[in-house]
């Protein structure tokens, strides 16, 4: 079993490198959002076994979503410590429920947090504002040396910033929230950031 997980680790590391390269040339998480922003093993506080388990679950959810004909760039999937975080936009309420069901039924998932919104609820003008907020936040997290920016994903919908990921400690968590609140036109911050010390399977593998 351990050798199998290390095999997955090699594959995942290759995909993360490609994801990070793609993200560096795009704004926010919109182009690669179905797969999420890649996480560097060096800065990721999870143990190798937990990281691999989460990444496998994350990729399984993404594959199921694509198989069900949901447009890739609408949905953002992140799995941390067995919890699936979903955000983005869908056209109908039924789609949101179906994606929640997909996540729940995926191996390794013990909880689902669904922040997906219905696309008809967001005006074109608001989407433009959201895109500007997202681009500013992307840069802010990237240039702040006290933040491991590759450990976070976010979506901006109707002025609300949905951000999730892992902070190495409370100081980094506070720094991330501060950067979000400094951006103009942010109405609310919906944080699902997990502290490394709160991971339930710290010593796995």
H/E stretch holding 101: helix 93-104
Fold match between 2-119 and 121-198?
A: yes
- Choice between 5 and 187, residue whose per-residue pLDDT is larger: 187
pLDDT in tens, 151-196: 888 888 889 898 888 898 999 999 999 999 999 999 999 888 888 8
Structure-block tokens of residue 18: 């490609």
CA 145 to chain CA mean position, Å: 20
Residues 104 and 111: their CA atoms lie apart, in Å, by 7
pLDDT in tens, 25-50: 333 333 233 333 344 444 666 777 88
Q: Is the pLDDT of residue 121 over 50?
A: yes
Residues 91 and 134: their CA atoms lie apart, in Å, by 21
CATH number, domain 2-119, options 3.10.310.50, 3.30.1340.30, 3.20.20.60, 2.30.110.10: 3.30.1340.30
Residues 89 and 71: their CA atoms lie apart, in Å, by 10
Within 10 A of 100 (CB to CB), how many other CB atoms are there?
16
Tell me if 28 sits within 8 A of 156, measured CB to CB: yes
Q: Where are the domains of the chain?
A: 2-119, 121-198
CATH of span 121-198: 3.30.1340.30
Residues 116 and 79: their CA atoms lie apart, in Å, by 15
pLDDT in tens, 50-88: 888 899 999 999 999 888 876 545 788 999 989 999 988
Residue 118: which residues within 8 A CB-CB, separation 6 or more?
89, 90, 91, 92, 93, 96
Structure-block tokens of residue 160: 């609300």
Within 10 A of 96 (CB to CB), how many other CB atoms are there?
20
Residues 148 and 138: their CA atoms lie apart, in Å, by 12
Q: Which residues pair with 84 in a beta bridge?
A: 79, 112
């Amino acid at each position: 079993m351990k050798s199998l997980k290390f095999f997955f680790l090699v594959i995942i590391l290759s995909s993360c490198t490609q994801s990070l390269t793609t993200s560096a040339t795009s704004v926010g998480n919109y182009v690669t959002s179905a797969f999420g922003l890649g996480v560097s093993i060096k800065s990721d506080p999870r143990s190798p076994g937990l990281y691999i388990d989460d990444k496998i679950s994350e990729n399984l959810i993404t594959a199921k979503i694509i198989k069900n004909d949901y447009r890739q760039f609408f949905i953002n999937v992140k799995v941390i410590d067995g919890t699936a975080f979903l955000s983005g936009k869908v056209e109908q309420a039924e789609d949101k429920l179906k994606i929640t069901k997909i996540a729940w039924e995926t191996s390794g998932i013990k909880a689902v947090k669904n922040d997906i919104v219905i696309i008809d609820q967001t005006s074109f003008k608001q989407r433009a504002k959201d895109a500007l907020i997202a681009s500013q936040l992307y840069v802010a997290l990237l240039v702040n040396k006290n933040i491991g920016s590759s450990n976070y994903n976010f979506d901006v919908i109707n002025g609300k910033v949905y951000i999730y990921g892992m902070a190495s400690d409370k100081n980094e968590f506070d720094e991330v929230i501060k950067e979000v609140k400094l951006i103009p036109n942010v109405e609310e911050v919906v944080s699902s950031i997990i502290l490394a010390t709160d991971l339930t399977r710290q010593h796995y593998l």
